[in-house]
Amino acid sequence: MNEQHVDYAAVFQAMPGMVALLTPDLVYVDVNEDFARLAGRSRAQLVGRYIFDAFPENPNDPAAAGMRETEASMLRVVTSGERDTMALLRYDIEDSERPGHWQEHFWSPVNAPVPGPDGQVALIVHRVEEITSLIRARGGPGGTTQAARLEAELYTRSRELQEVNERLRKAHARERKVALALQAAMLPTPSPVGDHRAAVRYRPAVGGLNVCGDWYDLVGLPGDRMAVAVGDVVGNGLSAACVMGQLRSALSAATLVADGPAQALDALGLYARSVEGAESSTAATTFIDWSSHTLTYSSAGHPPPALLTPGGAVVFLDGATDPPLGARPEHLPRPQATASFDDGATLVMYTDGLIERRTEDIDAGLARLANSLGRRGQDDPETLADSLLADLLNTDGNTDDTALVVLRL
């Protein structure tokens, strides 16, 4: 069947309702026919102009907030890459034929992103529904008073909603900033591990609440040994960062005195029961012994570590998987397993943000990880860590934070 050619420029112009395209700098690229007609401006008067030069705010209205709120919404779209629906908005328009005369208008705007080839926001779709006639509707005896009262109530409540949403956004932004600073302080670059090269990474979720629950740790042990751990706290924000710090410190201390990874996770599980917000967190830890060329590992509900052999094969260390911390009603000893490795192998430990996507089974994510490791396994740990993040994190923006450790054995 022959594919029919679609003239998208004609489709855009014929779209019902007011639709405009703007650059991330808020300059008009195009407007459809309804936009030009209802806004009282020709397409030539708008294209290439900054939005607030084309539509300045009413200087006679000291309470006017339309310009500030519209700009904030559009910049949120550019920053987050997500659609932003605004509350009812009053934005008066100057009569193009009578300068200095302003016409009262009410609008219901939606702003949406159009990504470019690099995944960044290239354009903003600005769709507006003009609802002045609805707000100004009158009808029946006594209707004028009733309609005026309804209009005032609707406008007041929409303004309150917009202000509450803005306060919530600012509060979340402050908490996110503090939580990320705390996370960075508690996840420093690891100390040198002898002749063995290691790389660590932490990537917060993009534009979301789900940040600061993931962590990693590297602990030197007596002899030619060390332990590597990763974990994921249920929850988000500042509280998750605080719980993460407690669990990371507790496991680090337990690792120094435990006989093996299972005993270390046993101690962490008992500790997690006493920390609010820690239960059902996941963790995995691997003890590395270079003298015997063995890895001893245990997992508490966490995705399995990956071992890349010098020959390019990928083995998932899934022989000692147990429920998350504090998930059992009674305490039971955790299992552990041992695998051997050759010089030049690579251990990769990570949190679920690297492999999981909400619309698919975890096996698909593990297969992507194995494929990426098989193709890039000869890279040094720093390059490999960056390559794994580039290959595996969702191109639309990771919705969960991610911790990653890459260690050349």
Mean pLDDT of the chain: 82
C-alpha span between 322 and 302 (Å, rounded) = 8
Confidence at residue 63, expressed as pLDDT on a 0 to 100 scale = 72
Confidence at residue 125, expressed as pLDDT on a 0 to 100 scale = 94
The pLDDT of residue 179 is above 80: no
What pTM was computed for the model?
0.59
**What distances in angstroms separate CA 241 from CA 186, 187, 233, 299, 350, one per listed residue?**
9, 11, 8, 21, 17
CB 187 within 8 A of CB 216: yes
List strands edge to edge, sheet with 402-408.
Answer: 198-203, 402-408, 346-350, 306-308, 314-316
CB 326 within 8 A of CB 279: yes
Query: Mean per-residue pLDDT for 210-228?
Result: 83
Q: Alpha-carbon torsion 164, 170, 174, 175, what sign?
A: positive
C-alpha span between 281 and 77 (Å, rounded) = 33
Confidence at residue 140, expressed as pLDDT on a 0 to 100 scale = 38
Q: How does pLDDT run across 330-388, given as a tens digit for each residue?
A: 778 899 999 999 999 999 999 988 988 877 888 898 999 999 998 887 889 999 999 99
